[in-house]
Structure 1
Amino acid sequence: MTPVELSRTVLHAVRRAVDEGELRVTVPERVVVAPPRPGGCGDYATNVALRLARPAGEPARHVAEILRPHLLRDGRIAEVVVTGPGFLNISLRSAAPVALVQEILRCGPRYGHGDSLGGRLVRLRAPHEVRAVVHADALGRILRSQGAVVRTGHDRPPEEAWSTVLGVDIHLDGPGDGHPDASDATDATDVTDGTDATDVRVRPVPAPADPLPLGRDAARWALLHPAPHDRPRIGAEHLVQREDNPLFRVRYAHARTRALLRNAADLGFAPEPGPVTGADVQPLLQALADHPRVLAAAAAHRAPDRLARHLVAVADATPPLLPAVLPVGEEKPSAAHRARLALADAAGTVLAGGLSLLGIDAPDHL
């Protein structure tokens, strides 16, 4: 279940409670779900009960308890826990493998995109430092994937090479337009919520060296894969094609799935979602099912490194599937081969879509 689908499910639960006379409120036009804050639990949380408490004339926790059984009617929801003053914390059941693969292949690279930040204006501002500018660029992509409207500004015009070499999409606002000043920031990212917008000061630990010699993909990975508060490493280790390079593992896993699709086409068969069994595929299925939640969390916490680490997890879970995708010897392609090929295609699709949000290319050949 994607964040968009869960938002609709929560909205339907409110409507059912109103229709059955348990709540007397006007059903809202939309409901926002997001990763739970500290003190919460589960996969997603919503404050809809707090929003409805005053018009309903009921305590928020009571409203939440009314909505809880309506949410549990949906078989895709495993548990709903009420925390704090009335937050609904929702745990999802793992997606059925066939439905999961069908959903990924239907959505393509946009799998996991949602509207948890639908229509919310987020103004990003970066100092004149290459890592901050690249972070702002990647954050803009991730925030837009969750429905936010993003405006990006810089304290000074970025270097032209940051655009031409690193692929930074530069949108300039003038300094002094109400964004937090760098001297006031104490964390990697400082957020000030207003009525209509969120101002975000993007200030990761600066790069210790010029990343431009690494080229676009390796440089962006070197700057985005570490957490904002960690010092990045800028060196040739990001260019080597070997297993101890996480970027190589991600791109190699993607390229192998594309090679399997080409080889299967030569053998006369195509991917077709179906049951896939075996302990070797369970970590991959879980990682693919987690992708929408990871994207929502990366947007909510302004943390592109969460997406980068998740792509490594997907890549590392992919190789055990691949040896059994194609027929061997005189073996004819079967439904099992088509189903495994579809799962491999889904893994490659998620890897390509995630790399795109980080501004990194996913080549079909390595």
Structure 2
Amino acid sequence: MNPADLSRTVVRAVRCAVEDGELGADVAVPGRVVVERTRPGGVGEYATPVAFRLAKAAGRAPGEVARVLARRLGQEPGIVSVEVTGPGFLNFVLPAPSAPLVIRDVLVLEGAAFLPVDIDIDAGLGLGLRERVVRESVLRLVRSQGGSQGGSEHGVTEGLSVAPLAKRDGDVVARFGVDAARWAMLCVPARETPEFSDRLLLQGEGSEFFRVRYAHARSRALLSNADGLGFGPVVGEVDAPALLRALAGHPLVLEAAAHHRAPERLTRHLVELADALLDFQYRVLPQGDEKPSAAHRARLALAEAAGTVLAGGLALLGIDAPTRL
């Protein structure tokens, strides 16, 4: 099992518990359960608060509901362990991610990021620049998860509180460029005022914005250089735990970002993914007199997938992913 399957597995456990009478007939089975990466200091790798959502209809405390689900989920062959923490959080440990499965899952998912999105979010509302940027990104995220197709765009973002740009920052687009300005507007929660500094213009590791786009450019350069050496990507197993973990968690990040209407969750994840790819890149191509091997081809396929995910994530933010920087 991979993280993308975990949400569906939890939904199935809820359905079976309801059908078997363990949670009560009044409990509505959710169509989707948000599973997120465990925060630093938490238990396990992934967690969900689904028990809180079901507790009232079940007439039971969230902790009791969580324990009912934990007993079922603990029997799933693709889950290493399940633990209930706090008043009712379900926490999971999954097997180490497999490169072929991770690549397959993220590449299927990334197709949604590049679908053309015709957005007229302003529609006479007189929205400010930052509110328009945030609402557009939220709408792209929701659509990437299959929501708001043919529905009301304003319904998706209704009630979203967006802090405007500070007057002291002036014309941020003219100063930093469209892409860097968008990044700064989206990398903090919508209710917070974004900060602009010359770090956005920095072409080095001190800029998260630069690192994300540079990592994408490096993935394309690796493909080009490998082609010059006479080999291409072939999906296979790769020992790259940090990069595989970041890629495996990408579908859950998108789902959570759409659910919470929080593009900043995606920006944080893209930084994590970019840093993992930049650390990994030195192992991709043959060194010295070394000949291209199956291991090099598999590493190249993983680097290519990571670059594709970075490009797709930037597209959801409305930001360009250049092949050279």
- Bin of the TM-score, shorter chain as denominator length: 0.7 to 0.9
Determine which structure has greater relative contact order: mean sequence separation of CA pairs < 8 Å that are 6+ residues apart, divided by chain length: 2
Looking at structure 2, the residues matched to 240 and 152 of structure 1 have their Cα atoms a distance apart, in angstroms, of 35
Deviation at 1:257, TM superposition (A): 0.6
Deviation at 1:304, TM superposition (A): 1.5
Deviation at 1:138, TM superposition (A): 1.2
Deviation at 1:29, TM superposition (A): 6.6
Alignment of 1:94-133 (within 5 A): 95-98=96-99, 99-110=101-112, 128-133=127-132
TM-score by length of 2: 0.77
Partner amino acid for 2:127? H
Structure richer in helix, relative to its length: 2
Structure-2 residue corresponding to 1:145: 144
Secondary structure of the structure 2 residue equivalent to 1:243:
coil
Looking at structure 2, the residues matched to 135 and 275 of structure 1 have their Cα atoms a distance apart, in angstroms, of 38
Deviation at 1:125, TM superposition (A): 11
Structure-2 residue corresponding to 1:249: 211
Q: Deviations over 1:18-46 (max 9, x none)?
A: 676757749967532125799x9742232
Looking at structure 1, the residues matched to 147 and 56 of structure 2 have their Cα atoms a distance apart, in angstroms, of 21
Structure-1 residue corresponding to 2:295: 336
Deviation at 1:266, TM superposition (A): 3.0
Secondary structure of the structure 2 residue equivalent to 1:244:
coil
Alignment of 1:235-314 (within 5 A): 237-277=199-239, 281-314=240-273
Structure richer in strand, relative to its length: 1
Looking at structure 1, the residues matched to 264 and 62 of structure 2 have their Cα atoms a distance apart, in angstroms, of 35
Cα gap change, 1:275 to 1:126, in 2 (>3 Å): farther
Looking at structure 2, the residues matched to 21 and 305 of structure 1 have their Cα atoms a distance apart, in angstroms, of 40
Looking at structure 1, the residues matched to 109 and 231 of structure 2 have their Cα atoms a distance apart, in angstroms, of 22
Partner amino acid for 1:10? V
Gaps of 5+ in 1: 112-123, 154-178, 180-196
Secondary structure of the structure 1 residue equivalent to 2:82:
strand
Deviation at 1:145, TM superposition (A): 2.5
TM-score by length of 1: 0.69
Deviation at 1:299, TM superposition (A): 2.6
Cα gap change, 1:222 to 1:63, in 2 (>3 Å): closer
Secondary structure of the structure 1 residue equivalent to 2:270:
helix
Structure-2 residue corresponding to 1:323: 282
Looking at structure 2, the residues matched to 198 and 82 of structure 1 have their Cα atoms a distance apart, in angstroms, of 32
Secondary structure of the structure 1 residue equivalent to 2:160:
strand
| CA RMSD after TM alignment | 3.6
Structure-2 residue corresponding to 1:211: 172
Looking at structure 2, the residues matched to 88 and 134 of structure 1 have their Cα atoms a distance apart, in angstroms, of 34
Cα gap change, 1:59 to 1:125, in 2 (>3 Å): farther
Secondary structure of the structure 1 residue equivalent to 2:249:
helix
Looking at structure 1, the residues matched to 229 and 236 of structure 2 have their Cα atoms a distance apart, in angstroms, of 19
Deviation at 1:364, TM superposition (A): 1.8
